[in-house]
Amino acid sequence: MDRLAGVILHPSSFPSDHGIGNFSESAYQFIDVIAESGFKLWQMCPLGPTSYGDSPYQCFSAFAGNPYFINWNKLIENGYIEKKDISDLEMLPKDKVDYGALFSVFWPIVDKAFIGFKKELEKSKELKTEIDNFYKLHDYWLYDYCNFRALKERFGNRSHLEWKNKAESKNANLNKRKYFFISAEAEKHAFTQFIFYQQFYQLKQYANDKGIQLIGDLPIFVALDSADVWANPTLFDLNSEGLPNKLAGVPPDYFSEDGQLWGNPLFDWKAHKKEKFKWWTQRIKHNLELYDCVRIDHFRGFESCWAVPALETTAINGEWEKAPGSELFNTIKTQVEDISIIAEDLGVITPEVEVLLAETQFPGMAILQFAFGDDADNPYLPHNLKRNQVVYSGTHDNDTSLAWYDSLPQKTQDHVRHYLGVSGKNIGWDLFRASIKSVANYAIVPMQDLFSLGTEARFNNPGTESGNWIWRYSPEDLEAFFHDSHAYVNDILKCYGR
């Protein structure tokens, strides 16, 4: 690993006129600004199609992209729709994401765009070849996902466990093995994926050309109501009704005294081992084609995961259930070259997890907001960090550094200031500099800290059900950062060899 610095920002947080940040001009402007500031890394949350809770960590597919990120201006340029067709999107809030309102107006516009796309497809052999190649390249997940979404629409967007016509669902499940779209609705979802991937790779190429590497995020577990579980039920620990026997989560910790009950089904690791970890190999390879590096969320779950009986309402009464560990990664490494992975090794880390991390040689994580107790041996304090590590001032799950500091007891605030040798008036920037100075090869900060924002800009508060994933910055935020701070950032990065 080179000695680099970067920022965390999810694309949903970009400014846009379409109700949510997307791959529009704002994304390119963001890349320009961080590149000119000297950053070399851009980390984002998972880009999958979000489900009911709007969390990018609970998606309808482990492989598909979120159509919400499509840049509609490009589709207008291509002639698939007209400017007037997206007027409902332009009426949505610009200071935050209203997912309910977005959902209600988004899909009728997709329907119009798909009609326009099909008209162009009839005229353009080049476009026909391009989409056919896309189908072939992604056939191992695309048909599953598109048929799943089409059936979900047919059954009122209910969970696949509630679909009434089980025979129809089963037949569709068989048809997908022949790489067959069951309806025009399924083809429509294939269209959204074609556009998503086309636009994403254009954005990635632009970032790479500017010297920016993209860091993706891979949640270890998948959602119960997902194409992955629907199409591959034998790979998950389910009962005869297709319901989970146990649910994934984490025991009580810093974030929640009841733990976190995520509700994801657990993997049937014996079934995965029997197929030589084919599904996992495809998933890792797919992500490393999307990104230059991938952070695996809840990495400790590959050693053992917190399994909670399905009827529990909290994560307190769970138990650790063994996972394949290094056997999985050794298998993947025989089929996937240049594996660049960051292991999220936070939470309950046992000696067995430490052994797994050492065997894989993946860099772990350190969070400065977790560093300032009374113990000088705290592993997250800058003087205790290691080179093969990624240091963050905070992550998408933390409050902004300004809000974090303001919430601390006076004694802890005094300790933070004393340790860092600062006044505390610009604590976000103080933590930024501390991370940049550290020996950790990668240093990454949330964009909110560079904007000096408070708790109103928190992206996610684990264990809460509302108000998450909605924050967006304004064009003025980025302009102010560039005008006031980008030269300082560039100087600091050069000073400490990043």
Is 397 assigned a catalytic role?
A: yes
Active-site option among 185, 237, 344, 449: 344
Q: Could you give the C-alpha distances from 146 to 64, 150, 214, in angstroms and in order?
A: 9, 6, 26
pLDDT value, residue 52: 87
pLDDT value, residue 178: 62
Encode burial over 456-486: b for 16+ CB neighbours within 10 A, e otherwise. Answer: ebbbbeeeeeeebbbbbbeeebbeebbeebb
Sign of CA dihedral 330, 336, 340, 346: negative
Q: How many residues does the chain have?
A: 498
Hey, what are 298's tokens? 């809840």
Tokens 């497809």: give the residue. 121
Burial of 145 (0-12, 13-18, 19+ CB in 10 A): buried
Number of other residues whose CB lies within 10 A of the CB of residue 59: 24
Compute the distance between CA of residue 41 and CA of residue 1 in angstroms, rounded to an integer. 12
Compute the distance between CA of residue 302 and CA of residue 339 in angstroms, rounded to an integer. 16
- The answer to whether 89 and 19 have CB atoms below 8 angstroms apart is yes
Compute the distance between CA of residue 220 and CA of residue 215 in angstroms, rounded to an integer. 16
Of 299, 319, 296, nearest to 308 by C-alpha is 319
Active-site option among 228, 297, 399, 449: 297
Q: Could you give the C-alpha distances from 142 to 21, 80, 160, 254, in angstroms and in order?
A: 24, 22, 17, 38
Q: What are phi and psi of 440, to 5 degrees?
A: -55, 135
Compute the distance between CA of residue 484 and CA of residue 490 in angstroms, rounded to an integer. 12
Q: Where are the alpha helices (DSSP H) in 124-138?
A: 125-137
Domain ranges across the chain: 4-62+195-495
H or E segment to which residue 492 belongs: helix 486-495
Q: Could you give the C-alpha distances from 164 to 53, 147, 171, in angstroms and in order?
A: 23, 16, 13
- The answer to whether 291 and 203 have CB atoms below 8 angstroms apart is no
pLDDT value, residue 1: 81
Number of other residues whose CB lies within 10 A of the CB of residue 105: 17
Q: Could you give the C-alpha distances from 143 to 36, 79, 116, 148, 164, in angstroms and in order?
A: 41, 26, 22, 8, 21
Active-site option among 228, 237, 345, 397: 397
CA 168, distance to chain mean position in Å, is 33
Tokens 């109700």: give the residue. 19
- The answer to whether 344 and 295 have CB atoms below 8 angstroms apart is yes
Q: Which CATH class is domain 4-62+195-495?
A: alpha beta
Compute the distance between CA of residue 213 and CA of residue 41 in angstroms, rounded to an integer. 5
One digit per residue, pLDDT tens: the chain, 498 residues? 899 999 999 999 999 999 999 999 999 999 999 999 999 999 999 999 999 899 999 999 999 999 999 999 999 999 999 999 999 999 999 999 999 999 999 999 999 999 999 999 999 999 999 999 999 999 999 999 999 999 999 999 999 999 866 656 656 555 555 678 989 999 999 999 999 999 999 999 999 999 999 999 999 999 999 999 999 999 999 999 999 999 999 888 776 789 889 899 999 999 999 999 999 999 999 999 999 999 999 999 999 999 999 999 999 999 999 999 999 999 999 999 889 999 999 888 999 999 999 999 999 999 999 999 878 999 999 999 999 999 999 999 999 999 999 999 999 999 999 999 999 999 999 999 999 999 999 999 999 999 999 999 999 998 788 899 999 999 999 999 999 999 999 999 999 999
Of 399, 393, 459, nearest to 430 by C-alpha is 393
